Amino acid sequence: MDSHLILKIIHMTFGSLALIAFLIRAVMLFWDPQNQPGKVTRIVLVAMQHLSFTVLIITGIVLLYQNQFVVQPWFYGKIILFVVILSATIKAFGKRDMSLSQRKAGVFVAGIAFAGLLTLVIWKPDFSANQTQQQGIQQPNTSQQNQLSSMAVRPSATTQPAQ
Ligand code: HEM
């Protein structure tokens, strides 16, 4: 297995771990806000979140480096949503004195951002194709593509005949 695939698997595993830790804490906050998890459970969940976000950022940067920082336009949306998830998660579960409704709002915003990020990585919208359609430029269909490739200029056809 090549290093890119291994990194991608680690990246996706810790993405799932971040989602699981978030869902557990969100359900606990909404289900029984007065009865929050004990010290050990809290430490485990916080460690899970910190570790998964850290690994996601490190593996994400290495994957970007391996891809020579070439990204699709939707990737910028992914990074914005990731920053929203981080800040809303801090608001929802941070140590600062927050009211319950503020914490619930944080969970709500982080949940929407998580759903948006997952939609982007699964769907991978191709904005460049839409742009071509808007400009009225038609993409050739398969038979046209075959015709075009058969019409390709051979290098020998462009060379000057020997005098
Ligand atoms: C909660 C946060 C994140 C989740 C759930 C997540 C999830 C994923 C998933 C599922 C893929 C695989 C997509 C596919 O190829 O089908 C992926 C790819 C990728 N992610 Fe993330 N990601 C997160 C954060 C980040 C961050 C913060 C960065 C950058 C610093 C990043 C950089 C990348 C890159 C570069 C790839 C492309 C790998 C490739 O196909 O060559 N991700 N991510």
The predicted pLDDT at position 130 comes to: 57
DSSP 1-46: --HHHHHHHHHHHHHHHHHHHHHHHHHHHHH-TTS---HHHHHHHH
Q: Please tell me the least confidently modeled range out of 21-25, 43-47, 91-95, 118-122.
A: 91-95
Whether ligand 1 lies within 6 angstroms of the CB of 64 is answered as yes
CA 121 to chain centre: 5
Q: Which residue has the higher pLDDT, 145 or 123?
A: 123
Q: Which among 8, 81, 87 is the best mutation to test ligand 1's pocket, defined by most ligand atoms within 8 Å of the CB?
A: 8
Q: Residue 10 corresponds to which tokens in the numbers above?
A: 């680690």
- Where are the chain's structural domains? 3-150
- Quick: pLDDT tens for 81-90: 999 999 999 9
pLDDT (mean) for 75-83: 98
Q: Residue 31 corresponds to which tokens in the numbers above?
A: 């289900």
pLDDT at 93 over 80: yes
The percentage of residues in the chain with a pLDDT greater than 70, rounded to a whole number, is: 79
pLDDT at 76 over 60: yes
- The Å distance, Cα 139 to ligand 1 centre, comes to 29
State the first-to-last Cα distance of the chain, in angstroms, to the nearest integer: 55
pLDDT (mean) for 69-96: 95
